[in-house]
Amino acid sequence: MGLYGPLPASFCQLPNLTSLNLSNNSLDDDVFPQQLLACQSHHSLNPSVNHLRCSLPDGIQNLRQLRYFHLQVNNFSGALPSGFGNLAQLQSLDLSGNNLSENTLQGQLPQIFETTLVHLDLSYNTLLTGQIPASVAELRMPNLTFLDLSGNNFTGLLPQHFGQNLQYLALRGNKLNGEMHGAITQLPQLTHLDLSNNLFSGQMPQMLGSTSPLMYLDVSYNLLQGEIPSTICKAGKLEDVRLDKNSFSGSLPGIVQASSFSVCGATISLEKFQLVFGALQN
């Protein structure tokens, strides 16, 4: 499609229309299109990958039938409106990649989203700040399976709890610190965990991956120390592990394979490390 400019006024006046996909066009407006706020019977609304350069209005709360709301890769600015918390049917919300200009989503993530969300992507909005709210991680979002908050400026510790249905968790590229505590070892459905490019310190949790079907693990570019836990071998489905740029020490159970190691059938990326007398050095 090659739509450009503002939306025409006739949009959302079709009484039987429940899904509207306007993605990958050149829609250009410095005010959120009021026509979209009139789409109150829609289940799916997707104006992603356009040139909308505006704030998100509180009028979003009127879209009460929405289940899928994809707004990624525009130029939205300002804070997230609290009206998102009124979208009780919402299952998938994607606001990622709204950092294409100096105006980016900013401020603290509101204590909302206590909905039926299954998929939440707020990645790469570089001015989202503060601690990750407990409402995002805890059982207030019991259906959440996908959470990506990468590429922001979140600080502080990992939340103490995560929803037990979480399968995909990505927090890379923030300023999270402290230890990787046991909460991330108690997610029975987790297959993808990316905590890279943060300020985590201490040792890796001993039971990481041993109680879940973990396939991908990335803790590279942190301040981790100590030995790589031997229990990582209990993660029977593990395929890709990235441990680059930490300060691990001790012996490594594995076989050297070029710039990576194979441990229990998983490829372990340890680029710029070398094995010296059974110990890891960077």
What is the helix (H) or strand (E) element at residue 35, kind and residue range?
A: helix 34-37
pLDDT confidence of residue 108: 58
Q: Tell me how far CA of residue 39 lies from CA of 17, 28, 33, 35, 282, in angstroms.
A: 9, 19, 11, 7, 56
Q: What tokens appear for 192 in the block? A: 């993808």
In this structure, what DSSP letter does residue 61 have?
A: G
Q: What tokens appear for 30 in the block? A: 């410095």
pLDDT confidence of residue 107: 62
CATH number for domain 65-281, candidates 3.60.21.10, 3.80.10.10, 1.10.3720.10, 3.90.1310.10: 3.80.10.10
Phi/psi class of residue 232: alpha, beta or left (left: φ > 0; alpha: ψ in -120 to 50)?
Answer: alpha
Is this model's pTM higher than 0.95 or not?
no
End-to-end CA distance of the chain: 50
In this structure, what DSSP letter does residue 134 have?
A: H
Strands 260-263 and 255-257, sheet pairing: antiparallel
Domain boundaries, the chain: 65-281
What count of other Cβ atoms lies within 10 Å of the Cβ of residue 30?
Answer: 12
Q: Which long-range contacts (CB under 8 A, 24 or more apart) does 157-161 make?
A: 157/131, 157/181, 158/132, 158/183, 158/184, 159/132, 159/134, 159/183, 160/134, 161/134, 161/137
Q: How far apart are CA 13 and CA 30, in angstroms?
A: 22
Distance of CA 119 to the CA centre of its chain: 9
Q: How far apart are CA 177 and CA 170, in angstroms?
A: 15
* 127-130-171 Cα angle (round to 5): 75
In order along its 282 residues, the chain shows pLDDT tens digits of 566 666 666 766 766 778 888 888 777 777 777 778 877 788 888 888 777 888 888 888 888 888 998 888 888 877 777 777 778 888 898 888 875 333 455 665 655 556 678 898 988 887 677 888 776 766 567 788 999 999 988 899 998 888 889 999 999 999 999 999 878 888 899 999 999 999 999 998 887 777 778 888 899 999 998 888 777 766 667 778 888 888 887 766 443 333 444 444 445 555 444 333 334 444
